[in-house]
Amino acid sequence: MVEAHIRGVGNALAAGWRVLERAGSGRCAALDAVEEAVVVMEDDETFDAGRGSFLNRDGRVQLDALIMDGATLRAGGVGCVERLRNPVRAARKILSESPHLYFVGEGAERFAAQHGLPLCKNEDLIIPREVERLRQYQADANSHGNELFAPAADDETISHDTVGAVALDCNGNIAAATSTGGTLNKAPGRLGDSSLIGCGCYADNQSAAASTTGWGEPIMKLVLAKWTIDRIAAGNLPEWAAQEAVNYLKQRVNGHGGIIVLDPEGHFGIAHNTPRMAWAYKTVKQQESGVERSG
Ligand code: ASP
């Protein structure tokens, strides 16, 4: 699905860029841009976010998302939601309209509905490809005689397809957003790194914005997004910090994943220690995308 991934990140990039181009000064353009970019990838069945996500052990989709504003450090997160096509939209509503920072499950869905977001059925988020993927995974596990067996959870060729975006606007503000269906065959109620502040996502105008993808449990142990941003606050460039982050993830806890990082001067880093990670970036001068590059 390499082509579909490149097309998908390209469409997300275009949506985010449109917001940045349109924005008059004063609007939260970076925040709007990461939200729109992530919505495009949630709507794209290629990725593990929104419709088309990996299924949990019960065959249901459970989604997590976080969005964060580097200007104010306001953030909004949702965990284990089952009836939202675009959990990042609910996260944004929390950021903008709630005194709280994070909602889970039914309470998150109720908050979203009260703030004008439509609720769907869980079945609306499930696609045949993922039903078959779960069936195959559980059949493999059963052939090992243990239905809780997780075949090679530390195998970096197992797909992790969380989506994320970082943006810098003309006011010098940065923002980040991350959205996921989590890991295949996860236990119901399991929450990964993606929607946890500092783990799967972080943004601070005084240092950088970051979004991670990959095997969530190791990333959580290292609070990896914030770890990376702290390196930049200490004077390092995002390109170096991103590569250091995935090296640290591997060396310290045998984790695998990837990260995108952007600072308020427009320096950025893209790194992964998985065989592939689809990425795309655009500046006023150039645009590039790929699946292989690291560092
Ligand atoms: N990071 C996600 C999680 O562990 C999975 C992924 O990146 O696909 O929930």
Give the per-residue pLDDT at 28.
75
Give the per-residue pLDDT at 146.
59
Closest CA to 237 of 213, 207, 258: 207
Cα 19 to averaged position of ligand 1 atoms, centre (Å): 27
Q: Which residues of the chain have pLDDT under 70?
A: 24-26, 144-159, 293-295
Cα 132 to averaged position of ligand 1 atoms, centre (Å): 19
Q: Which region, left, alpha or beta, applies to residue 129 given φ > 0 means left and ψ of -120 to 50 means alpha?
A: alpha
Instruction: Count CB-CB contacts under 10 A for residue 229.
Output: 27
CA 181 to chain centre: 9
* Secondary structure of 248-283 as H, E, C letters: HHHHHHCCCEEEEEECCCCCEEEEECCCCCCEEEEC
Question: What gap in Å lies between CA 285 and CA 108, rounded to an integer?
Answer: 40
Task: Using most ligand atoms within 8 A of CB, pick from 159, 180, 256, 260 the residue to mutate for ligand 1.
Answer: 180
Tell me the residue length of the chain: 295
Give the per-residue pLDDT at 115.
98
Closest CA to 29 of 45, 44, 15: 15
> What is the domain partition of the chain in residue ranges?
1-138+157-200
Give the per-residue pLDDT at 151.
44
Q: Tell me whether residue 180 is one of the annotated catalytic residues.
A: no
Neighbour order of strands in the sheet with 102-104: 102-104, 75-81, 63-69, 174-180, 163-168
- Report whether residue 181 contacts ligand 1, using a CB cutoff of 6 Å: no
Cα 198 to averaged position of ligand 1 atoms, centre (Å): 14
8 A C-beta contact, residue 208 and residue 262: yes
| Tokens read off for 175 | 């923002």
Atom index in ligand 1 nearest the CA of residue 186 equals 9
8 A C-beta contact, residue 100 and residue 137: no
Among 46, 162, 178, 228, the one annotated catalytic = 162
